[in-house]
Structure 1
Amino acid sequence: MIQKLKFLFDKKKLLLFFALVILFDFASAQQESQLRGKVVDTLGKAPLSNAVISLLHKKDSTLSNFTRSGKDGSFILPHIAKGQYIVMVTFPKFADYVEVVNVQEQVVDIGSIALTQKATLLKEVVIQSGRAIRIKGDTTEFTADSFHVKEGATVEDLLKEFPGFQVDSKGQITAHGQRVQKVLVDGEEFFGDDPTMATQNIAARAVDKVQVFDTKTDQQNLTGLGGNSQSKTVNIKLKENSKKGAFGKINAGSDFQKYHDGKALYNRFVGKKKVSVYGTKSTVSTGSLNWEDREKLGIENDQEYDEVGGYYISYGVSDGFNDYSLRGLPDSYSAGALFSNKWKEDKYGVNGSYRYNRLSTNNESSTLTQTILSSGLLYSDQRIKTNGLNQQHAINGKYEWKLDSLATFKFTTTGIYKTTQSHNNTKSFTQNEKRLFLNENDQTTESETESKQMDNQLTYKQMFKKKDRQLLMTLRFGLVEDDNNGTLYSTFKKYDAAGNFLADSITDQQKRFTGSSNTIGTRITFSEPLTPKLNLVVNYGYNNNNSASNRASFNDGGNSKYEILDSLYSNNFDLDVSSHSTMGVLKYTGKKTRFAFGTGLSALQINLDDQYKNKKTTYSFLNITPQANYSYQLKQQKRIYANYRGYTRQPSMNQLQPIRDNNDQTNVFVGNPNLKVGFNHMISGGYSSYKILTGQNFYFDVNYGFTQNDISNASVIDASGKRTYTPINVNGNNNWGIYGYWSIGQGEKKLRHIINLSAYGGRNINFINNEKGINNYSSFYASYGLGYDVKEKLNFNIRPNVRYNTSRSSMRKVDNNFFSYGSTFYGYVILPGKIEINSDVNVDLRQKIDAFDRNTNIIQWNESVSKKVLKDKSGKIIIVANDILNQNKGYSQRINSNFVTDERYQRVSRYFLLKFEWSFNKMPTGK
């Protein structure tokens, strides 16, 4: 009996044991997870079957589980306990893939794992000891740590050390002879179109690599054609550990009387979230960071995309908030904020910024102009006093959504609200060759302008499993509204050939302008692989612009009221412009050879409704755009390339409208409705190489262009010296250019030698008083640079140069040839006690020409002495001496066709500031 009870008891324990095991297994099953994903080829996004997926415990790298991918590349690893693992994917002839995953959910989907072929990967391998520069296709990449800069240096200081780069005193960057117009940070815009916001404020030590390439849009990258080969884009790639924490800078300086300059910047990174704010106040600069006036508002700045963009000219389109084009003495404020973030494994991304600028200027300028006629010379002298106030609010936004690994939506928007106020007084006169007066003009203008602009673009990009198959669609919508009110009061006096007074005339008018424009456009581009290396790319685009322009000039009716419409200087137009365009391109991408060639065709129709004359006019243009690009990679760091681009140039609406503009009484413009479409040919080619061991860098580029039915001017100059000009078509205009750059030397305590040779020239044709004038011009430039640095002790760079300019007119042989000599120098020395002396000198010496006997020599010398303070040396006291020799005169000289112009204007000259600067860096790379 007892034995039987023991048996039953043991049996119950056994059953209980099995029940507990089953319950534990069930509970474990409820806690287990599964890992799933898909293995594809990086290039073609094609699925890879039978790839081995191994799951390793992170703590000891022991194997937890493994499987193989199916035919569609997908895989599932079941029965995984929660925790951290290492996923390793292997496939023959492909590089291994390793990633750390944190398994917490019941189902973890890591998405597509893209493997890279070893053969492709080897193309990217460069020996670590010499990877300062890498050239791949049209992209040149610089490794930041391979170039020495002083402690506390910015990206701008770093760029100065790169071969082929130049940075002037205003922050403008030139790379391989071409202007850098856009600076990105990790592929994203930093405060919209404010490039120096990045170059002057991001620390050099936070930078991993810097890439420079031709400015291109998504459409141009897909076709392999187009792009602005005359401008460059710089992309600053930050180190991973520089994307954590915060950094910033505050500086303030004053002479305690007239001049002051202050700036504050704060950046914070939280994961992939970035927040930046800044503000400036200055009487020595514009306080802004733009480089140039933009001719039109656009998201991508793609001229091929928007064939109708030039048919409405906005009053508020130019951006005067930049030091490069500053004329006069400034008083400026600016502020801005930036936010960007990516989340859910970069599936979603947002980037937005706001910027405010306020700039008031006072300027006194003088402009001398020599006009070359077969009958003699004319001399014009203008003296202008200007007071202006510009204010601007600008926003930039981008939202990106990756539907999956193959499809992406991107929405971008840009908006500007701008107001301007100006008061100008111009006193001018024209004299003949005997220096007898032909006319005098005393003119005062006042103007108030309000401009609103917005541009929106939606882009859809679809990749496919088949390699190189791709669909790209864009939709764009833009709005512009302008409102301008002003007055013109002018007294114009005429003289006879002997200098005797004949008569005078008074113009007293009120100017009113209202304008609006809306543009909608779409483009669809599709790429289909014909072979593994050859693609066919086709696209179609449609654009439409509807705009209205009402310019009214009213004369004083004698009662101080402007009530009498002056129809000669007034117009009211409604405009409808539409275009259809298509293009076909063959694109070949080989191991060493790349080429693309094709042609586009677009039909443009303009419907112009003249409301004043009740007249409707239709213009039709057929545009052909053949293009070809070719490049050959001789070696890893050597390539040759050649490009051809043919494109039409249709006249602008202002050139077509037969209206008069009398805002300048001595130069009156009249439109020409009979203009024909022109056709431009542009051919360019070059060679680039870099030798790793010696640091030798060589770059050469040559280009030539000519235009059929180019648009020039026909001028009629009457006996009083008054010029009336209108656009006409001419044949024979051309231009050419050559650029060469060579440098050698790298590293500390080694001399760097730089030789730069360039030349450009061309021919312009115009007509003056029905006589054809041919002007041939050219300019030849040579410079030799020398650089040297000792880490944290000494650095200097000097580059003397010489230039020879020639210009000759067929109307009369006037010697306008001259030499100019110059030099740039910048450097620093660090003395005991962490005292740093910085110096930069810019020398510009020019020969006087026959046209003007004025001294044009400028030597600008800036100096600063600084001492680091505070316990962590994050503060700095600086004494700044700007323009020590007091020669910083604004100067511009233009020799074009039959006109030679010499302009002088005010600039901020000698001043001394006491500054305090505090920098903080709460990042792993900082202190």
Structure 2
Amino acid sequence: MQLAAFSQHAVIQGKVCDSVSLSAVEGADVLLLAPKSHKPLLQTRTGSKGFVFKKVPEGSYGLVVLAMGFVHDTLPVWVKSGDTLRLAIALRPQENELSDVVVKAAPRPVSIRGDTLSFNAAAYALRPDAQLEDLLRQLPGVEVDKDGNITYMGKRVDKIMINGQEFFLGNTKSANSLPAEIIASIEAFSTRSNAATFSGIRENSETHTLNIKTKKGMEEAWLGSVYGSKGQDNNYAAGGTLTKLGKELMLKANLITNNINNRFTGVESKSYTPQAGLQSTTAWDVNVMKKWGDKLTANLAFNGNDEKTEVLESAGRRTFLTDSSLQENRQGHSLVADKKYPFNFRLTYNANERNQWELASSVTYNQAGNRREDTAAIQTLQHSGAGYTSSRVQTRNTDEQEGIGITNQLDWRHRFGRPGRTLQWSLRQSSQTGNSTGSLYSLLNGYAPTGALQQQTFVHQQYQQHTKGQQYGSVLTYTEPLSQLYSLLLAYNVITSVQQNDKASYDYDSLTGGFNTPTPLTSNRFQNRNTTHMVEGAFVRNERKFNYNLGLGWQYSLFNNISFLPNRHIRQHFTNLLPKASLNLLLRNGKTFSLNYFGYSTAPAIDQLQPLPDLSNPLFVKSGNPDLRQSFRHSLSLMLNTVNKKNYNGLSMGIDASFVRNQIVPSITLLPGGVQQQQFVNVNGNYQLGAAAVYSFGFAGKQGKKNRGSLQSIVSHGNDVSLINGRPNHTRSFSWAENLRLSYSLGTKLMAIVTSGNRFTLYRYSLSPQQNTRSWNHNATLYLNYELPLGITLQSSYTWLRMGTSGLLPAQSSSVLNAAIYKRLFAGGKWQLRLSGFDLLNANRNFTQSAGANYIYTRQTNQLQRMLLVSLLYNFKILHASER
């Protein structure tokens, strides 16, 4: 220590280094705390030359040093006026990220630990009644679609955990309504199976997991809300949610019922995309996790969804031929009732330190009914401008379905005395049964250019269809440690599946007035039996900063497709090599890099195999192909994550590529009068290339606190091969998109979120280059939350969409304005009176358009119009007694 004179105050200077590498630690937070105070008197961050505090009053202090990836340090210091105190501080690297900070420093929006990105919820602006979904929509790289499905960096999120415990089985969307106030941070990482976690061997994964870490004091809490809503006419909404957090018991229950297309479920819908038709919904979900000590854990999830939707649509399709084109105009009306009741259960038993048992079961019951009526006319248009009506069609179809599916899996996992040596055995079973009945009515008239009736096709029949399937499989996996860093993995997998589809159709008999005449064309018994054996080996390096997995599998598959009416037996066998490789690097300065490559095969589904025509739309007849081969996909992905330790700005970049051999695609044959026939075939040459980058940053606030933004760039290129009239058609596509997201808060009064996106697409078709298209699409959304006097809060969202011209399709624009105003009532503000307005401009026409290889398509449907809704809500929160 060295002293020097400096006015009437003291100076504290210091350098912070890594205790292992002795390199300078930049971007560390240094806080000077007065005695018995948790609020910093002075605060700064280290640079390459360390840090300095000037004009420090004489006295004793606590000097706190916080750095990502290091154990924080607290030093007692005492300074005298005129002194300069010089310090050298060595920080010890830590395995785990700092979880609790007892000083009020600006929150770090993002940090990296290994292959895990952690997003700090406190760094993002959230309204008081925000849910998990609101937070996810602000995180860089995270997307939530209109149905509540979550993706991260373009890959599906298939698992959501709370404090490291998997909670939501089978339906991650159940987590979207979790209250955001309980969340401290959200971790994102590649999904790891329970088997991989047990063995410690990393595995390839094409999906992601989100782990929600709760705030201190929320580990044991009850939270919930109930609401009732009434709109004009007969519009209504009601429901409630209950959440119980805890180390031994967690519970999440949610109930909604409404006839307003789910526009309000306790909060206004975050989806600004209109839904087709008028929908009424009753849905519930219950998720439970219960632990009995360290040995036994049970997870249960039960969901129910009952939807009824009525759709009125007007559609147009322009199909381009060599010397002419076909214009189809269609009017349709459908009523759909859909019920689904999935139940999932998992029991994990840790018998001792070396043995673990796990049983996972699921049962899903579904019931659906569909009634649809359509009228359509097709005009044949010559390039010269002349044209005529070539066909008219009228259809009335009904379909009633009922089915149940059951799956079971039993796993035994064993650790031997030598660390890293494990044996795992898995048994799997599943079965599905389904029954459907329906009727088809269609009248197709074909006309000559003179207008004379040239051809008439009439279908009036009823059908019964029965499907069933069984699947059995077993996997045996062994891992052997070769050294402290290297391991060997060996696995054998066998699986057998049998699927059967029996359909019997009967034509209407006008003499008897009944359906008693068998129809051979649409009657068939079909069975598909597949057996696959796979042997796999992998060489693995396990180390935190540098690990990789190199593996190769050999797979033998035997397919038996049996068609009984007519009698035909197709036997196929395939042999494949299944390579895989993964690499994970933890680089310096908060950077991580990962690479994944693997190949896998996919067998065709039974509806793609069964040679049975679908006559529900006489203008578009589909049938399966029993000669289909399995497809094989090569997939490669790379990911780079980095966080700037000075300002906590983050950059994530990813590259994905896939190539498919024997891709299953439709082959379309165009017939006179506008009738199209489709059959599935195998083709080669399909590939996809994509790259994405997300840059997250802070702005307009001290250290970016609660003012965050992200800029996302996406580029993709692909080649899709299909067949039109027996000729291969190559569709080459290119797209480029830029998406900007900004969230801003001004104290607790104002919060604003702005999103903006621009997307350019280009399509080129080998068979019809005259139909090549390019278009620009734009979208922007502004969300505002403003607290008025007297405890009144105003919320509003405005969304603008513009679809640019695409070939012959003109540009289209639409806008949606939603708003809500509410006031909290009574002591504690637990009650809330809310007025919500939806589509206040009444400007959305629910119009969509698209273009394909040889067609353009437009569609407009009915929708819920402008609506006002009055709601009364009650919220409650009960914390653990020691944390109140």
Confirm whether residue 832 of structure 1 aligns to residue 808 of structure 2.
no
Confirm whether residue 279 of structure 1 aligns to residue 231 of structure 2.
no
Confirm whether residue 602 of structure 1 aligns to residue 582 of structure 2.
no
SS at match of 2:139: coil
How far 1:673 moved relative to its partner? 3.1
How far 1:588 moved relative to its partner? 1.4
CA shift digits 1:829-852 (9 cap, x unpaired): 112222111122222101233333
For residue 332 of structure 1, what is the aligned residue in structure 2?
281
Percent identity between matched residues is 20
Change in CA separation of 1:266 and 1:675 when aligned onto 2, cut-off 3 Å: closer
Q: How does 1:206-245 map to 2 (within 5 A)?
A: 206-219=182-195, 223-228=201-206, 231-239=207-215, 241-245=217-221
Which of 456, 461, 464 in structure 2 is aligned with 1:509?
461
What one-letter code is carried by the residue in structure 2 that aligns with 1:683? L
Q: How does 1:429-440 map to 2 (within 5 A)?
A: 429-434=377-382, 435-440=387-392
Confirm whether residue 906 of structure 1 aligns to residue 883 of structure 2.
no
What one-letter code is carried by the residue in structure 1 that aligns with 2:342? A
Change in CA separation of 1:156 and 1:714 when aligned onto 2, cut-off 3 Å: closer
Change in CA separation of 1:703 and 1:268 when aligned onto 2, cut-off 3 Å: closer
8 Å contact 1:370–1:378 — kept in the other structure?
Answer: yes
SS at match of 2:569: strand
Looking at structure 1, the residues matched to 531 and 92 of structure 2 have their Cα atoms a distance apart, in angstroms, of 48
Which of 572, 575, 598 in structure 2 is aligned with 1:619?
572
Change in CA separation of 1:127 and 1:694 when aligned onto 2, cut-off 3 Å: farther
Change in CA separation of 1:515 and 1:883 when aligned onto 2, cut-off 3 Å: same
CA shift digits 1:424-445 (9 cap, x unpaired): 0122232233453222211111
Which of 379, 403, 406 in structure 1 is aligned with 2:327?
379
8 Å contact 1:253–1:913 — kept in the other structure?
Answer: yes
Looking at structure 2, the residues matched to 178 and 499 of structure 1 have their Cα atoms a distance apart, in angstroms, of 53
What's the TM-score, normalizing by structure 1?
0.78
What one-letter code is carried by the residue in structure 1 that aligns with 2:139? F
For residue 872 of structure 1, what is the aligned residue in structure 2?
828
For residue 428 of structure 1, what is the aligned residue in structure 2?
376
For residue 76 of structure 2, what is the aligned residue in structure 1?
none
How far 1:880 moved relative to its partner? 0.5
SS at match of 2:425: strand
Which of 423, 426, 429 in structure 2 is aligned with 1:471?
423
8 Å contact 1:132–1:692 — kept in the other structure?
Answer: no
CA shift digits 1:330-362 (9 cap, x unpaired): 11212343433111x221111223222221111
Q: How does 1:323-722 map to 2 (within 5 A)?
A: 327-343=276-292, 345-434=293-382, 435-497=387-449, 500-558=452-510, 559-635=512-588, 637-722=590-675
SS at match of 1:515: strand
SS at match of 2:608: helix
Looking at structure 2, the residues matched to 233 and 288 of structure 1 have their Cα atoms a distance apart, in angstroms, of 28
Looking at structure 2, the residues matched to 679 and 168 of structure 1 have their Cα atoms a distance apart, in angstroms, of 29
8 Å contact 2:528–2:560 — kept in the other structure?
Answer: yes
CA shift digits 1:851-891 (9 cap, x unpaired): 334x6322122111111111111111111011112234445
For residue 887 of structure 1, what is the aligned residue in structure 2?
843
Q: Please provide the CA RMSD for this pair.
A: 2.8
8 Å contact 2:470–2:498 — kept in the other structure?
Answer: yes
Looking at structure 2, the residues matched to 522 and 846 of structure 1 have their Cα atoms a distance apart, in angstroms, of 50
Change in CA separation of 1:573 and 1:421 when aligned onto 2, cut-off 3 Å: same
8 Å contact 1:497–1:719 — kept in the other structure?
Answer: no
Structure 1: give runs of 5+ residues left out of the alignment: 1-94, 96-117, 290-321
Looking at structure 2, the residues matched to 224 and 912 of structure 1 have their Cα atoms a distance apart, in angstroms, of 52
Looking at structure 2, the residues matched to 427 and 479 of structure 1 have their Cα atoms a distance apart, in angstroms, of 39
For the pair shown, the structure with the greater C-alpha radius of gyration is: 1
Looking at structure 2, the residues matched to 773 and 617 of structure 1 have their Cα atoms a distance apart, in angstroms, of 28
How far 1:157 moved relative to its partner? 2.8
Which of 805, 810, 825 in structure 2 is aligned with 1:848?
805
Confirm whether residue 266 of structure 1 aligns to residue 242 of structure 2.
yes
What one-letter code is carried by the residue in structure 1 that aligns with 2:854? N
How far 1:386 moved relative to its partner? 0.6
SS at match of 1:655: helix
For residue 112 of structure 2, what is the aligned residue in structure 1?
135
Change in CA separation of 1:269 and 1:739 when aligned onto 2, cut-off 3 Å: closer
SS at match of 2:130: coil
Looking at structure 2, the residues matched to 336 and 681 of structure 1 have their Cα atoms a distance apart, in angstroms, of 37
CA shift digits 1:412-469 (9 cap, x unpaired): 1111111111110122232233453222211111111111111111122223342322
SS at match of 2:175: helix
Looking at structure 1, the residues matched to 828 and 175 of structure 2 have their Cα atoms a distance apart, in angstroms, of 25
CA shift digits 1:701-731 (9 cap, x unpaired): 1222222332223222111111112222222
Which of 716, 729, 736 in structure 2 is aligned with 1:773?
729
Change in CA separation of 1:752 and 1:287 when aligned onto 2, cut-off 3 Å: closer
Looking at structure 2, the residues matched to 119 and 600 of structure 1 have their Cα atoms a distance apart, in angstroms, of 42
Change in CA separation of 1:792 and 1:889 when aligned onto 2, cut-off 3 Å: same
How far 1:323 moved relative to its partner? 11
Change in CA separation of 1:672 and 1:547 when aligned onto 2, cut-off 3 Å: closer
Looking at structure 1, the residues matched to 192 and 274 of structure 2 have their Cα atoms a distance apart, in angstroms, of 25
8 Å contact 1:482–1:516 — kept in the other structure?
Answer: yes
Change in CA separation of 1:520 and 1:890 when aligned onto 2, cut-off 3 Å: farther
SS at match of 1:284: coil
Looking at structure 2, the residues matched to 747 and 216 of structure 1 have their Cα atoms a distance apart, in angstroms, of 38
CA shift digits 1:868-917 (9 cap, x unpaired): 11111111111101111223444544434334333333333321101111
Looking at structure 2, the residues matched to 824 and 226 of structure 1 have their Cα atoms a distance apart, in angstroms, of 37
SS at match of 1:157: helix
Change in CA separation of 1:284 and 1:639 when aligned onto 2, cut-off 3 Å: same
8 Å contact 2:125–2:744 — kept in the other structure?
Answer: no
How far 1:541 moved relative to its partner? 0.9
8 Å contact 1:287–1:333 — kept in the other structure?
Answer: no
8 Å contact 1:696–1:744 — kept in the other structure?
Answer: yes
Change in CA separation of 1:153 and 1:714 when aligned onto 2, cut-off 3 Å: closer
8 Å contact 2:192–2:203 — kept in the other structure?
Answer: no
How far 1:689 moved relative to its partner? 0.7
Structure 2: give runs of 5+ residues left out of the alignment: 1-70, 72-90, 266-270
SS at match of 1:436: strand
Looking at structure 2, the residues matched to 647 and 821 of structure 1 have their Cα atoms a distance apart, in angstroms, of 37
Structure 1 stretches of 4+ moved >6 Å: 322-325
How far 1:788 moved relative to its partner? 1.5
SS at match of 1:754: strand
Q: How does 1:51-62 map to 2 (within 5 A)?
A: none
What one-letter code is carried by the residue in structure 1 that aligns with 2:799? N
8 Å contact 1:631–1:639 — kept in the other structure?
Answer: yes
Looking at structure 2, the residues matched to 640 and 500 of structure 1 have their Cα atoms a distance apart, in angstroms, of 69
Looking at structure 2, the residues matched to 772 and 356 of structure 1 have their Cα atoms a distance apart, in angstroms, of 44
SS at match of 1:693: coil
8 Å contact 1:170–1:323 — kept in the other structure?
Answer: no
What one-letter code is carried by the residue in structure 1 that aligns with 2:279? P
Confirm whether residue 149 of structure 1 aligns to residue 126 of structure 2.
yes
Change in CA separation of 1:746 and 1:576 when aligned onto 2, cut-off 3 Å: same
